[in-house]
Structure 1
């Protein structure tokens, strides 16, 4: 006895809170960061680039004033920060997100602070260095790259280093004033880091909720697909197997030829379903007509064909193709309509019409043709609204079967004036 392995649980990509350092040069995507996190990250990079360019322009007067206090080679860090900000703006204009510019910026600022004593010429600067505002900017930028704690730690360490450098390059300055200014900058920076962290976490939470909703939708779609497949199999059993069994149960004596034909047709349909499961096949329209004639063979004595159009396109043009499962569904619906007419109409004749032609291409049928079938009898008829919902003949085997493959069914019936079933495929055809 074989055991079927259980289906794996639905999985979905969780939004990563951190990215591996090995992917710094590779572009990120919404699938990696999450859609909302990606947008926040992109907006943060653009803002970072704009502020970096603005700080560079603001630093130009300071640089001119401090050329006597620090060597010119130290300006390489300022130019590098400008180029880094321009790279962020260029990526933002291209809707791209890469991690390396956001990582390079705090490294450049840390190196700029650490090399200030080496660049000092011994002349006391008249105002604070251009590095000071960049410390706050890069600390805020590290929130989305690393974490809130990492950004706060970077802010505290680099600010403390800057305080030491300031006291070294500015002899005689009041340490209390320097420490107070540094503490104020750290407190302000921590507030900004916390706010950015809350916004970024909100984006991650929204992405997580979106992923959960997608997983639930996938689960519902899978359940719905399983239910539709089971309903389709129920239609096959009802349309074929039950027809043979009912005919055999109403017969006396040896099995009639028609019963054998019905049973063989049921076996053929089930065999076709097995082949269909292996892949999507296509069927020519004239083959569909042959299948329909063969399917209606048990009722050959009562069926009258009013009109049959075997050629949808003029001779010499490619013959139109229809998906095999669609052809099978149409044949099954017509067969069930004839079977219902034979069982319930009280008449000896059922009229079948098949026509079609070319039409503008549709979403369901891009080849540009339509098929229309009619099954008509002049029997006792019935009230469509009064049909028991548990009966599968009209609701499932005809209407459901056709609508499942993109067609439409119109049932026109009334007591005393017969029944007309019109089947159109595709349903969006403009005939």
Structure 2
């Protein structure tokens, strides 16, 4: 099972960054907010301090607990509250006018709000909002001050938009990078899955071609040496049946018995490590027990990949063993080693052996699942499970 996407992880980090910024702004602006309280209508300051800084401070908690949809809603509510606060500043402002060195507190942090929207909105919406709040903040300052000096309003607006835009562009690029990583990862997983499926088909075709070749040659040799006989007739029928199966392909719904499944599994494992210990048990199954061919392929290929990972990464001194248990309605395979182990949560997204060749392959089979248990220094166990979805017990 995949964890959060790269885009989501980066967005959550940005939410925590924005929340920390909001806390810093609130602490720094507290004296200014209190000094301007008496210049505004009594309802204005408590309403908009709570409506703006409340959601901003709550982003830190939300980034750990909430879904991205709820986080986006919270970000949107804060951005809307900030814009409304700017619009209502002028009608709520009773004076006296601010000095030239003073700024309306509502106009001080449009960049923080714009940065926050970068984790939730599209690029066009982000920069439209940035231009709007940065411009309106300068308008608020311009008409709230006694004298604005020799600097025209337009110059202040341009400077405000450019200054806030630097931070907003940076955060937007960070989130976009996460989106590109996700796209690249999906494409890589698709290519790896396609390659794995192609390789599996090739191996399977070679295995069955060799088997059928042996049957055909054996039948012809028997006919040449001993002539017609009941045994030759049976042998010919078997060879023809297998040729028909090769021509039509083995359907994913076709079922095989436990012994055929184990033979298929042993063949797949021996191609990776022909010395691996395989402990197989089928004592509890009935004579009618069968496993669908798609499950046989997935279990065998996933077990082979788990064994291959062990050979590559467990260490030269690691001992490996495979335990197989076939029950009436289920199959369980444990691929174990006592090697160096690893932290499954730290596996990089581009490492596709677990994600595609094991977990992904087992997820494609109804009733299939895979679990990886490992710790550094404690070895690794890959557990593959198949339970017949048609079983109702």
- 1:394-413 alignment, distance < 5 Å: none
Distance in 1 separating the partners of 2:191 and 2:332: 38
Equivalent position of 1:118 in the other structure: 91
1:261 aligns with 2:234: yes
Distance in 2 separating the partners of 1:52 and 1:59: 10
Equivalent position of 2:24 in the other structure: 54
After superposition, the C-alpha distances for 1:232-283 in whole angstroms (9 at most, x for unaligned) are 331331232332122113345xx12321121133356568888963536464
1:365 aligns with 2:325: yes
After superposition, the C-alpha distances for 1:199-227 in whole angstroms (9 at most, x for unaligned) are 23322222222222112112211211221
CA contact (8 A) 2:114 2:168 kept: yes
Equivalent position of 1:334 in the other structure: none
Which of 49, 62, 74 is 1:91 aligned to? 62
Q: Which moved more, 1:264-273 or 1:108-117?
A: 264-273
Shift of 1:154: 2.3
Shift of 1:120: 0.9
1:71 aligns with 2:41: yes
Secondary structure at the counterpart of residue 253 of structure 2: coil
Distance in 1 separating the partners of 2:2 and 2:155: 42
After superposition, the C-alpha distances for 1:75-105 in whole angstroms (9 at most, x for unaligned) are 2122012221233222212263232122222
Secondary structure at the counterpart of residue 118 of structure 2: helix
Equivalent position of 1:206 in the other structure: 181
Distance in 1 separating the partners of 2:332 and 2:157: 77
Equivalent position of 1:35 in the other structure: 5
Distance in 2 separating the partners of 1:209 and 1:67: 51
Distance in 2 separating the partners of 1:166 and 1:85: 23
Distance in 1 separating the partners of 2:150 and 2:254: 80
CA contact (8 A) 2:222 2:232 kept: yes
TM-aligned CA distance change 1:83 to 1:369, over 3 Å? closer
Equivalent position of 1:386 in the other structure: none
After superposition, the C-alpha distances for 1:380-415 in whole angstroms (9 at most, x for unaligned) are xxxxxxxxxxxxxxxxxxxxxxxxxxxxxxxxxxxx
Distance in 1 separating the partners of 2:244 and 2:36: 89
TM-aligned CA distance change 1:271 to 1:324, over 3 Å? farther
- TM-score calculated relative to the size of structure 1: 0.55
Structure 1: tracts of 5 or more residues without a match: 1-28, 289-310, 330-360, 371-431
Secondary structure at the counterpart of residue 365 of structure 1: strand
Count the aligned residue pairs: 281
Structure 2: tracts of 5 or more residues without a match: 263-280, 298-320, 334-393
Distance in 2 separating the partners of 1:213 and 1:369: 29
Equivalent position of 1:23 in the other structure: none
Which of 100, 104, 111 is 2:77 aligned to? 104
TM-aligned CA distance change 1:147 to 1:278, over 3 Å? closer
After superposition, the C-alpha distances for 1:45-84 in whole angstroms (9 at most, x for unaligned) are 1212222233223332112101111123112122012221
- TM-score calculated relative to the size of structure 2: 0.60
CA contact (8 A) 2:104 2:144 kept: no
Distance in 2 separating the partners of 1:154 and 1:312: 66
